[in-house]
Chains A and B, each alone.
Chain A
Amino acid sequence: MELALTLTILRYVFLVLLYVFVFTVVGHMFRGTKAKPRPHLSQRQVAYMESEGPRVKAVSPTAAPRLISAKPLSGKKVFYLDSRTTIGSGKNNSIVIPSRYVSREHAVIYKKGDQYWLQDLESKNGTYLNGYPVKTSTVLAHGDHINVGGADFKFYKW
Chain B
Amino acid sequence: MAYNKKVHMLRRLERKLLLRVAAYLFIGTGVLFLEHPDSGRELFTAVVIITCIYFALNQFWNYVHFAGDPYMLSLIFVLCSTSLILLYRLNPIYAARQFLWFIVGLTALAVSSKINYRKLADYKYLYAAGGALLLLLPVFFGAERGGAKSWLQIGSITIQTSEFVKILLVLFLASYLSQKSTELVREKQSFKGFKLPSLEEWGPLLMMLGISLIFLVFQKDLGATLIFYGTFLAMLYISTAKLSYIIMGSLLFLIGGSATYFIFDHVKMRVETWINPLQYAETAGYQVIQSLLAFGYGGLTGAGLGEGFPHFIPAVHTDFIFAAAAEELGLAGALALLMVYILLIYLGFKIAARARDNFSKLLAAGFTSLMALQIFIIIGGTTKLLPLTGVTLPFLSYGGSSLVSNCIIVGLLMNISSTRI
Assess the A11–B34 pair: CB atoms within 8 A.
no
CA distance A21 to B23 in the complex (A): 10
Assess the B31–A22 pair: CB atoms within 8 A.
no
CB closest residue in chain B, given A114: B182
Assess the A136–B118 pair: CB atoms within 8 A.
yes
Q: At the interface, yes or no: B296 with Cβ under 8 Å from chain A?
A: no
Assess the A132–B24 pair: CB atoms within 8 A.
no
CA distance A24 to B118 in the complex (A): 33
CA distance A12 to B28 in the complex (A): 10
Assess the A28–B27 pair: CB atoms within 8 A.
no
Also in contact, A130 and B421, with CB within 8 A (given A7-B304, A10-B30, A22-B339)? yes
> CB within 8 Å of A: which of B43-65?
none
CB closest residue in chain A, given B25: A17
Out of B3, B116, B305, B358, name the residue touching A11 (CB < 8 Å): B305
B271 proximity list for chain A (CB < 8 A): none
Most chain B beta-carbon neighbours within 10 Å: one of A24, A25, A131:
A25
Task: Please encode chain A, from 13 to 31, with 1 for each CB lying within 8 Å of some chain B CB and 0 for all others.
Answer: 1110111111011101100
Q: At the interface, yes or no: A39 with Cβ under 8 Å from chain B?
A: no
Out of B23, B337, B343, B420, name the residue touching A29 (CB < 8 Å): B343
Out of A25, A133, A139, name the residue touching B356 (CB < 8 Å): A139
CA distance A13 to B24 in the complex (A): 8
Most chain B beta-carbon neighbours within 10 Å: one of A21, A130, A137:
A21
Q: At the interface, yes or no: A78 with Cβ under 8 Å from chain B?
A: no
Assess the A15–B358 pair: CB atoms within 8 A.
no
Assess the B116–A136 pair: CB atoms within 8 A.
yes
Q: At the interface, yes or no: B35 with Cβ under 8 Å from chain A?
A: yes
Q: At the interface, yes or no: B324 with Cβ under 8 Å from chain A?
A: no
For the residues of A in contact with B, the DSSP-based class is helix
Assess the B30–A132 pair: CB atoms within 8 A.
no
> CB within 8 Å of B: which of A99-155?
113-115, 129-134, 136-139, 141
For the complex formed, measure the closest distance between the CB of B133 and the CB atoms of chain A, giving whole angstroms. 29
Interface size on B, as a range, is 35 or more
Out of A7, A15, A20, A25, name the residue touching B329 (CB < 8 Å): A15
Out of B3, B21, B301, name the residue touching A15 (CB < 8 Å): B301
Q: At the interface, yes or no: B289 with Cβ under 8 Å from chain A?
A: no
CB closest residue in chain A, given B20: A21
A92 proximity list for chain B (CB < 8 A): none
CB closest residue in chain B, given A21: B20
Out of A3, A114, A133, name the residue touching B34 (CB < 8 Å): A3
B340 proximity list for chain A (CB < 8 A): 22
A29 proximity list for chain B (CB < 8 A): 71, 343, 347
4 tightest CB-CB pairs across the interface, nearest first? A139-B357, A132-B421, A17-B24, A21-B20
Q: List 22 A-B contacts (CB under 8 A).
A: A7-B304, A10-B30, A11-B31, A11-B304, A14-B305, A14-B329, A15-B336, A17-B20, A21-B17, A21-B21, A21-B74, A21-B78, A22-B340, A25-B75, A28-B17, A28-B70, A29-B343, A115-B357, A133-B421, A136-B118, A137-B118, A138-B356
